[in-house]
Amino acid sequence: MVDGNLIRSRWPMDLPSFMKEVMNIISFFYFNNQTIMPKYFIEIPHKNEKIECLRSVSILLSSGSHFLTNADWGCLDGEHKAWFFMDAGSKDEVLRIVPPAYRKDTKISQLNKFRLEDVNELLKHHEE
């Protein structure tokens, strides 16, 4: 049996200090425009034909993927596309979720957040 006092004496910090440290790390990533995992906006188009529209909806809904089954659709407004957001390690990881028949036309955009202070840095990025 392990003595609880022995464990507590070796633990580097108490729980409130530990939680404060975790929040500092999260704040650092959030406020320094860094993310632990990139966020992507995914657009999956399909043909503007009634049968193709119904087929696309059916395929995505029956995929079993939480992301695809919760996609937003623009079909009723004449925009024959499905959209969803996803946090992933890479665009390739996102693409693996998309059914093979739709991968070729799928558009995946990595999203970023900017602060007003970032404008000068952005200008340097676009001048390169």
Residue 66 phi, psi dihedral angles, 5° rounding = -55, -40
pTM of the model: 0.67
CA 17/CA 30 separation, integer angstroms: 20
The reply to whether 32 falls in a domain is: no
pLDDT at 101 exceeding the cut of 60: yes
Alpha carbon 120 to chain centroid, angstroms: 26
pLDDT for the residue 2: 47
The predicted model gives 26-51 an average pLDDT of: 81
Cα(18)–Cα(63) distance, rounded to whole angstroms? 41
| CB-CB contact of 59 with 97 (8 Å) | no
Mean pLDDT of the chain: 82
Confidence of residue 91 (pLDDT cuts 50, 70, 90): very high
* Distance between CA atoms of residues 123 and 128, nearest Å: 9
Domain membership flag for residue 76: yes
Which residue range(s) make up the domain with 85? Answer: 39-111
Number of domain units in the chain: 1
Higher pLDDT, 87 or 26: 87
